[in-house]
């Protein structure tokens, strides 16, 4: 086993084996001999070491020790002094990571050296190789027209990193990050600085005003930068808090399967297993749980990840996690779409069964409605309702079956006769299946004289799926006939147009007369 040596390169600590250390030392010594006497030698060596550290991190890919092959690949990318001594200054060395000629890849950075406010426009100009003035004009024009450009600019300022090192400046310009390119770029900067120093003279009062304004702008930009950092931390904290709450709710729903606040969600007293039984009867609960878990869980984890990233300001080069998460989320979306399409086939056809009863209109002038509420206390204890108590699941011992509330309408009869119509409906994959299911709906009602008794609930036998089961009750009354609506009918009474000016609570407990426009002229409670 080879001996490993700990080395600090560009501010990052690496563990190199003996051969790799010898090769890296030889390479750095050769660069130091070339650039050591140069005025920009120190800056060149610092940028080269930063680039070496970046390339070594990419080469390691989870490994701890740097091998000789890793060092060789890095030196081939950067090039050795003897490889470009004969090249003209400024000529780019366009070798890729395999040593072949390749087109350089541009990266988007903020050009803080040539920028006005954060270097966003200058960075865009460098990336697209156009004059940054074009982007500045566009930003100002859209700012005047819409105002939202300021938010977009701040987002760019926050998200896009600045080009601080020479390697980043070369990537921004689309040049390969090699030793000769780093040297040439730093020499150009150094020559420009020396030329500016030669041209400098004692500043006039106008120059002093300009310098003062530049200092004010610099302070403002620093303040805005700190403000953006603070806002980023606040946004990250919000994402962490929201993601944590959503994660707790999701885990509670999946594993505990009870509402967090029973008193608040009285109309949503359901468990996850109940929902799957009602809306996804043909789907394996495990497959459904996988699809829903990935579809909901991945965005929540992404929210937590970005929140932590904004708060703690860490960077990662591992793109595999994001790619894997995206693929998994798309897979869950496709899975849920397939489940939805499969379950939708259960609702292709409608089965209907109608029961009609002719009432006596010769001797009766007032009909009395009654709603059988016996057993409601037991039902409320053992049933879990959805959609404001319209339907749900009824548990009794080991039996589980669907339960629903009928809908009652009282309308004017067109033929002068009084009759009661009870209509049962349910969906299915075929007309035969829907027809067989609708006949199994259990709903009790009766007529005795002028008294009409309706059941407060209907049932489906155990093992029969819900599939949109519904019971509609319509009482047809001719003009001049009256009907007493008890308070117990409030839960089954459907809202109808004739009484739109009254609430359900105002309708019950009164006797109503059927007129041409519908039920009108409520009388006082009769005591039926």
Give 243 or 205, the one with higher predicted confidence. Answer: 243
pLDDT over 70, % of the chain: 70
Predicted local confidence at residue 181, as pLDDT: 61
Q: Please, are residues 383 and 269 in contact by the beta-carbon 8 Å criterion?
A: no
**String of b and e for 195-225 (b: at least 16 CB within 10 Å)?**
eeeeeeeeeeeeeeeeeeeeeeeeeebeeee
Which tens digits make up the pLDDT trace of 129-154?
788 777 777 777 777 776 666 777 77
Which tens digits make up the pLDDT trace of 432-480?
888 888 998 989 999 998 899 998 888 888 777 778 888 999 999 998 8
Cα–Cα distance measured from residue 48 to residue 45, given in angstroms and rounded to the nearest whole number? 5
DSSP 374-406: TTHHHHHHHEEEETTTTEEEEEETTEEEEEE--
Give 269 or 162, the one with higher predicted confidence. Answer: 162
What's the pLDDT band for 263 if we cut at 50, 70, 90? Answer: very low
Cα–Cα distance measured from residue 342 to residue 335, given in angstroms and rounded to the nearest whole number? 11
Q: How many CA atoms lie within 13 A of 148 on its CB side?
A: 1
Which tens digits make up the pLDDT trace of 82-92?
554 444 444 44
pLDDT over 90, % of the chain: 9
Predicted local confidence at residue 183, as pLDDT: 56
Above 90 in pLDDT, residue 166? no
CA dihedral 138, 142, 144, 150 (to 10 degrees): -100
What's the pLDDT band for 260 if we cut at 50, 70, 90? Answer: very low
Which tens digits make up the pLDDT trace of 312-371?
776 666 678 888 889 999 999 999 899 888 888 878 888 999 999 998 877 778 899 999
Nearest to 494 by CA among 372, 411, 393, 419: 411
Above 90 in pLDDT, residue 424? yes
Cα–Cα distance measured from residue 414 to residue 397, given in angstroms and rounded to the nearest whole number? 47
Predicted local confidence at residue 498, as pLDDT: 46
What's the pLDDT band for 265 if we cut at 50, 70, 90? Answer: very low
Predicted local confidence at residue 270, as pLDDT: 52
What's the mean pLDDT in 255-284? 57
Above 70 in pLDDT, residue 205? no
Cα–Cα distance measured from residue 26 to residue 441, given in angstroms and rounded to the nearest whole number? 88
pTM over 0.85: no
- Pairing relation of β-strands 445-448 and 383-386? unpaired
What's the mean pLDDT in 234-256? 81
Above 90 in pLDDT, residue 78? no
Across all residues in the chain, what is the average pLDDT?
Answer: 75
Cα–Cα distance measured from residue 223 to residue 345, given in angstroms and rounded to the nearest whole number? 60
Predicted local confidence at residue 331, as pLDDT: 93
Predicted local confidence at residue 327, as pLDDT: 92
Predicted local confidence at residue 211, as pLDDT: 63
Predicted local confidence at residue 527, as pLDDT: 47
Above 60 in pLDDT, residue 50? yes
Give 294 or 125, the one with higher predicted confidence. Answer: 294
Cα–Cα distance measured from residue 147 to residue 141, given in angstroms and rounded to the nearest whole number? 9
Domain locations in the chain?
1-100+173-197, 220-346, 350-523
């Amino acid at each position: 086993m080879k001996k490993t040596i700990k080395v600090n390169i560009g501010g990052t600590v690496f563990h190199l084996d003996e051969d790799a250390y010898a090769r890296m030392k030889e390479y750095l010594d050769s660069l130091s001999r070339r650039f050591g006497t140069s005025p920009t030698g120190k800056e060149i060596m610092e940028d080269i070491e930063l680039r070496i550290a970046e390339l070594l991190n990419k080469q390691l890919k989870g490994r701890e020790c740097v091998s000789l092959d890793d060092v060789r690949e890095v030196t081939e990318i950067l090039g050795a002094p003897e490889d470009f001594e004969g090249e003209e200054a400024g000529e780019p060395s366009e070798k890729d990571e395999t040593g072949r000629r390749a087109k350089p890849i541009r990266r988007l950075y903020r050009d803080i050296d040539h920028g006005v406010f954060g270097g966003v426009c200058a960075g865009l100009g460098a990336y697209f190789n156009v004059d940054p003035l074009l982007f500045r004009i566009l930003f100002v024009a859209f700012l005047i027209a819409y105002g939202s450009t300021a938010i977009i600019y701040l987002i760019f300022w926050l998200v896009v990193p600045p080009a601080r090192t020479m390697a980043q400046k070369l990537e921004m310009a689309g040049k390969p990050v090699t030793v000769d390119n780093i040297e040439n770029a730093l020499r150009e900067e150094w020559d420009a600085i020396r030329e500016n120093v030669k041209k400098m003279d004692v500043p006039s009062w106008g120059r002093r005003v300009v310098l003062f304004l530049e200092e004010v702008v610099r302070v403002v930009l620093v303040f805005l930068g700190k403000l953006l950092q603070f806002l980023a931390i606040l946004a990250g904290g919000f994402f962490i808090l929201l993601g944590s709450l959503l994660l707790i709710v999701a885990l509670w729903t999946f594993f505990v399967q009870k509402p967090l606040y029973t008193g608040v969600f009285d109309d949503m007293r359901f468990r996850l297993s109940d929902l799957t039984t009602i809306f996804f009867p043909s789907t394996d609960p495990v497959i459904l749980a996988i699809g829903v878990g990935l579809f909901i869980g991945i965005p929540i984890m992404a929210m937590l990840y970005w929140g932590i990233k904004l708060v703690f300001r860490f960077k990662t080069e591992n793109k595999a996690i994001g790619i894997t998460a995206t693929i998994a989320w798309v897979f869950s979306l496709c899975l849920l779409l397939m489940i939805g399409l499969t379950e939708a086939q259960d609702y292709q056809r409608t089965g209907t069964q109608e029961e009609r009863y002719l009432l006596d209109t010769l001797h009766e002038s007032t009909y009395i409605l009654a709603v059988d509420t016996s057993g409601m206390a037991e039902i409320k204890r053992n049933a879990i309702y959805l959609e404001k108590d319209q339907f749900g699941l009824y548990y009794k011992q080991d039996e589980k079956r669907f339960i629903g509330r009928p809908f009652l309408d009282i309308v004017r009869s067109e033929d002068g006769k009084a009759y009661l119509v009870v209509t049962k409906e349910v969906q299915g994959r075929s007309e035969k299946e829907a027809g067989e299911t609708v006949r199994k709906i259990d709903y009790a009602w009766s007529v005795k004289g002028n008294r009409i008794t309706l059941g407060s609930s209907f049932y489906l036998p155990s093992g029969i799926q819900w599939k949109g089961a519904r019971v509609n009750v319509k009482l047809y009354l001719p003009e001049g006939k009256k009907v007493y609506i008890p308070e117990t009918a409030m839960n089954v009474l459907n809202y109808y147009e004739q009484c739109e000016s009254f609430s359900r609570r105002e309708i019950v407990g009164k006797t109503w007369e059927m007129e041409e426009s519908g039920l009108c002229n409520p009388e006082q409670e009769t005591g039926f």
